[in-house]
């Protein structure tokens, strides 16, 4: 296990830190190797990227080509095409080795005649050589075709991960989605893993008959990390620094976070930090102080999430946070409240606990609402 951080926060959980989810990671890996494309849509900070990167690591070591692009990092079609093609070309050892050795991008490399010649071997040069002069759509077409070209050439599968896929909307979605679909349909070696938050938007992109992506990929919910898996991981991590933690302290931690991946990691991290000044084993008071600290740090995030909601959704959340009924006799429009509940369920802010009973997907958000 990499030991750079005791509890990784602010970055996707790396190798050895993806708590539980083993069956899920295995099943995703299997589906993608079988060329089934998958949509993984889950609320913010619940571990989509962590799981996906773990899946790519496994595919990679099984000899599958992989590429990952984060749509949050691209501002135009051209950047999308550039990013995707660079990621795809990394899978060609020649390009990877050369660009590392010379410290240049593959596009600069292709301008060198001797390299162009060798890449011609791979039947790629003809199209790549013209990259600089191509218009954005030509680049997009080529970038989307690259995984299949490379897969065909090497006889291996290719899995492409697209993170924050809901942002495809900002890249001129309709035309891009149509283009993607027509390219994807013809591919024999390639499968896609789409990740996205904003439940309703992802739902719309993949489920609505009006959208060109209709029924393209299989939807997968991200399962929660079970309580015992958290306890084992946290105990073991602390033990690696010769620290112990009481069972009631762990109860307090998981009670406050509900096992929400980001929140739990952050509370665990601050618990360890605060515990440096305290005796062993770590107790409940130390955990509760870490919970406060985490909540302070999350305030701005929570505030932004709340501000993005409509007034009815805020009303519903406020009532639930204070353990009051969602619907009261005084409400003039029950149907507006029902719509707000649906929206909150779809976005994963709420989860259903039996008929008409709802809970927060992120208990720290409820705590925040009670305190503001």
Ligand X SMILES: Nc1ncnc2c1ncn2[C@@H]1O[C@H](COP(=O)(O)OP(=O)(O)OP(=O)(O)O)[C@@H](O)[C@H]1O
| Nearest distance, CB of residue 95 and ligand X, angstroms | 28
**What is the distance, to the nearest Å, from the Cα of residue 222 to the centroid of all Cα atoms in its chain?**
10
How far the first Cα of the chain sits from its last, in Å, is 40
Number of chain positions touching ligand X (CB under 6 A)? 23
What gap in Å lies between CA 87 and CA 68, rounded to an integer? 7
* One of 17, 139, 243, 312 touching ligand X (CB under 6 A): 17
Nearer to ligand X, 158 or 269 (CB): 269
Nearest residue to ligand X by CB is 47
Parallel/antiparallel/unpaired status of strands 358-360 and 65-70: unpaired
What gap in Å lies between CA 372 and CA 367, rounded to an integer? 9
Residue 41 and residue 202 in contact, taking contact as beta carbons nearer than 8 Å = yes
Number of chain positions touching Mg ion (CB under 5 A)? 2
Nearer to Mg ion, 80 or 165 (CB): 165
Q: Does 13 bind ligand X (CB under 6 A)?
A: yes
Shortest CA distance to 347 belongs to which of 43, 39, 49? 43
Nearer to ligand X, 151 or 224 (CB): 224
Binding mask 213-252 for ligand X (x = CB under 6 A): ------------x---------------------------
Nearer to Mg ion, 38 or 316 (CB): 38
Contacts of 86 (CB under 8 A, 6+ apart): 105, 106
What gap in Å lies between CA 256 and CA 362, rounded to an integer? 9
| Nearest distance, CB of residue 341 and ligand X, angstroms | 22
Task: Dihedral sign for Cα 256, 262, 265, 271, please.
Answer: negative
Single out the segment in contact with ligand X by CB under 6 A; choices: 46-54, 90-98, 184-192, 321-329.
Answer: 46-54
Give, as ranges, the residues between 253 and 282 that touch ligand X (CB under 6 A): 261-262, 265
Single out the segment in contact with ligand X by CB under 6 A; choices: 8-16, 105-113, 114-122, 183-191.
Answer: 8-16
Task: Dihedral sign for Cα 11, 12, 16, 17, please.
Answer: positive
Q: Does 48 bind ligand X (CB under 6 A)?
A: yes
Single out the segment in contact with ligand X by CB under 6 A; choices: 43-51, 127-135, 150-158, 346-354.
Answer: 43-51
Nearer to ligand X, 31 or 50 (CB): 50
What gap in Å lies between CA 300 and CA 302, rounded to an integer? 5
Identify the bridge partners of residue 67 per DSSP, sorted by sequence position: 160
Q: Which residue has the tokens 């709340």?
A: 306
By three-state DSSP, how is residue 12 classified?
coil
Nearer to ligand X, 128 or 245 (CB): 245
* One of 29, 49, 66, 99 touching ligand X (CB under 6 A): 49
| Nearest distance, CB of residue 72 and ligand X, angstroms | 8
Give DSSP secondary structure letters for 259-301: T-HHHHHHHHHHHHHHHTTSPSSB-HHHHHHHHHHHHHHHHHH
* One of 31, 41, 46, 49 touching Mg ion (CB under 5 A): 49
Contact positions toward Mg ion, by CB under 5 A? 48-49
Contact positions toward ligand X, by CB under 6 A? 8-13, 17-19, 21, 42, 44-50, 197, 225, 261-262, 265
């Amino acid at each position: 296990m990499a030991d750079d951080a005791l509890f990784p926060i602010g970055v996707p959980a790396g190798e050895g830190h993806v708590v539980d989810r083993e069956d899920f990671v295995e099943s995703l890996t299997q589906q993608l190797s079988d060329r089934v494309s998958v949509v993984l849509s889950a609320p913010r900070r619940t571990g989509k990227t962590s799981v996906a990167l773990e899946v790519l690591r496994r595919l990679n070591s099984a000899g599958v080509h992989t590429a990952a692009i984060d749509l949050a990092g691209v501002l135009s079609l051209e950047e999308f095409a550039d990013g995707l093609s660079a990621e795809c070309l990394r899978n060609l050892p020649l390009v990877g080795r050369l660009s590392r050795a010379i410290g240049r991008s593959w596009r600069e490399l292709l301008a060198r005649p001797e390299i162009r010649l060798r890449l011609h071997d791979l039947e790629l040069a003809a199209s790549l050589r013209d990259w600089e002069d191509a218009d954005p759509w030509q680049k997009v077409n080529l970038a989307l075709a690259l995984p299949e070209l490379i897969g065909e050439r090497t006889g291996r599968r290719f899995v492409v991960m697209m993170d924050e896929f809901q942002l495809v909307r900002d890249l001129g979605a309709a035309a891009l989605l149509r283009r993607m679909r027509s390219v994807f349909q013809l591919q024999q070696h390639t499968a896609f893993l789409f990740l996205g938050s904003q439940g309703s938007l992802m739902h719309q992109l993949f489920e609505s008959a009006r959208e060109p992506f209709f029924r393209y990929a299989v939807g997968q919910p991200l399962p929660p990390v079970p309580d015992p898996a958290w306890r084992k991981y946290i105990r073991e991590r602390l033990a690696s620094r010769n620290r112990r933690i009481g069972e009631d302290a762990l109860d307090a931690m998981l009670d406050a976070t509900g096992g929400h991946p980001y929140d739990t990691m952050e509370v665990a991290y601050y618990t360890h930090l605060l515990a440096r000044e305290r005796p062993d084993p770590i107790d409940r008071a130390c955990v509760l102080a870490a919970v406060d600290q985490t909540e302070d740090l999350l305030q701005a995030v929570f505030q932004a999430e709340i501000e993005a909601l409509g007034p009815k959704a805020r009303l519903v959340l406020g009532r639930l946070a204070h353990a009051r009924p969602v619907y009261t006799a005084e409400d003039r429009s029950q149907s507006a409240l029902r719509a707000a509940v649906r929206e909150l369920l779809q976005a994963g802010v709420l989860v259903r606990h039996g008929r008409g009973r709802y809970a927060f997907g992120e208990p720290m958000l409820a705590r925040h609402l009670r305190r503001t």
